[in-house]
Amino acid sequence: MPRYRLWLLTVALWVAGCGGPFPQTTLEPRSDFGSVIDQLFTGIFWWAAGVFLVVETLLVITLIRFRHREGRPAPKPTHGHTLMEIAWTLAPAAILVFVAVPTVRTIFATAGEAPADALKVDVIGHQWWWEFRYRELGLVTANELHVPLGRAVQLSITSADVIHAFWAPPLGGKRDAIPGHVNRIAFRADRVGVYDGQCAEFCGASHANMRLRVVVDSDSGFGRWATVQLAGPAAPAAGTLAERGKAVFARSACIGCHTIQGVSPGVIGPNLTHVGSRATIASGLFPNDSAHLASWIADAPALKPGSLMTRMKPPLKDDDIAALVAYLASLK
């Protein structure tokens, strides 16, 4: 990490009191895509900082040196100086060459191209959650994107409704998710971990609540995760609360919007076949525990303004909700 970055972060930490860690920072890239952007920004930052220092210093010196004093003779009415004006036209132009050349190089390096063996994932933005489809694996999940460490990943980003933007800052820059249009980004994650991100294009009432997580697994960890996701849903044991929950699910409005493999085919909301394996619910808003799940099922719009998952009419009874929670939690 370049030294100025440490310095900057130290200042930020100091200002923030305790602050860090910063889960969505752009300043500590964790992928090749993030790193080239960061290097480019670092270069431009130094040019900008240099120009800032020179010009502001010049301004301050001018103000001090030529401030009004009694008895100062009237200033000479100079109208201009051609040579100097040419010089300060050319100087910024010359500096911009040093910004433009690496910029164009990086534009082409970050155009979303990926090698043939890259893991390809379709990213679909919805108001207000994310759908991830692994084409080759035949796997569909929501809000938590798993990718293997060190392998090239290519995301094909689009939207099912309005314009969103997919952004997981430590892994690189954002791209808009536009209906009827596919944008690609490619990256290779270089450290195992969980990285936060969120929608970056204003997309309506709950834009702020459209968060996401990218889990970078080790190669074997990713394989284990994919195997679990590809299996059918867990079948609740007879006589358990979860089994009753499955029955509630099957006779309620849930099936209209959600898929649980072999149970319901809905495609409006997130696929719930393995919802119990996810760490969060409501697109990264809350931990996936029974308390949050219960209040989410009871009244999602209260937790996420504008949510399309409206309160059921007539409302579900408390024991039905408890059964549903048990069932969903069992879908590991």
Please, which of residues 108-137 interact with another protein by CB under 8 A? 108, 110-111, 127
**List 152, 153, 155, 203, residue binding another protein (CB under 8 A):** 203
Window 162-191: residues binding another protein (CB under 8 A): 162-163, 165, 167, 169, 172-176, 178-181, 183-184
**List 2, 6, 66, 235, residue binding another protein (CB under 8 A):** 66
Residues in CB range of 114: below 8 A, 6 or more apart? 120, 152, 153, 154, 184, 186
Q: What's 201-263 look like in SS3?
A: CCCCCCHHHCEEEEEEECHHHHHHHHHHHHCCCCCCCCCCHHHHHHHHHHHCCHHHHCEECCC
Residue 300 within binding range of another protein, rule CB under 8 A: no
What is the closest distance, in whole angstroms, from the C-beta atom of residue 173 to another protein in the complex?
Answer: 2
Choose one: 87-95, 221-229, 251-259, 271-279; the region binding another protein (CB under 8 A). Answer: 87-95
Residue 208 within binding range of another protein, rule CB under 8 A: yes
User: d(Cα 238, Cα 59) in Å, to the nearest integer?
Assistant: 80
User: d(Cα 202, Cα 280) in Å, to the nearest integer?
Assistant: 22
Site string for another protein, 211-240 (x = CB under 8 A): x-----------------------------
The residue (of 174 and 246) whose beta carbon lies closer to another protein is 174
**List 1, 2, 4, 107, residue binding another protein (CB under 8 A):** 107
Identify the CA nearest to 146 among candidates 5, 202, 137, 329: 137
Tell which phi-psi region holds residue 17, choosing left (phi > 0), alpha (psi between -120 and 50) or beta: left
CA angle 328–244–237, rounded 5-degree value: 80
Residue 26 within binding range of another protein, rule CB under 8 A: yes
Residues in CB range of 139: below 8 A, 6 or more apart? 133, 226, 229, 230
**List 3, 77, 138, 313, residue binding another protein (CB under 8 A):** 77
Residue 288 within binding range of another protein, rule CB under 8 A: no
The residue (of 168 and 331) whose beta carbon lies closer to another protein is 168
User: d(Cα 21, Cα 70) in Å, to the nearest integer?
Assistant: 56
Choose one: 91-99, 143-151, 230-238, 309-317; the region binding another protein (CB under 8 A). Answer: 91-99
**List 68, 116, 313, 314, residue binding another protein (CB under 8 A):** 68
Residue 3 within binding range of another protein, rule CB under 8 A: no
Residues in CB range of 273: below 8 A, 6 or more apart? 140, 229, 232, 233, 259, 260, 261, 331
Choose one: 159-167, 212-220, 242-250, 263-271; the region binding another protein (CB under 8 A). Answer: 159-167
Choose one: 102-110, 130-138, 231-239, 311-319; the region binding another protein (CB under 8 A). Answer: 102-110
**List 3, 63, 83, 220, residue binding another protein (CB under 8 A):** 63
Residues in CB range of 49: below 8 A, 6 or more apart? none
Residues in CB range of 127: below 8 A, 6 or more apart? 161, 162, 203, 204, 206, 210, 306, 308
CA separation, residue 81 to residues 85, 86, 91 (Å): 6, 9, 16
Residue 2 within binding range of another protein, rule CB under 8 A: no
**List 79, 116, 220, 237, residue binding another protein (CB under 8 A):** 79
**List 96, 194, 228, 268, residue binding another protein (CB under 8 A):** 96
User: d(Cα 59, Cα 63) in Å, to the nearest integer?
Assistant: 6
**List 1, 7, 10, 55, residue binding another protein (CB under 8 A):** 55
**List 30, 31, 32, 37, residue binding another protein (CB under 8 A):** 37
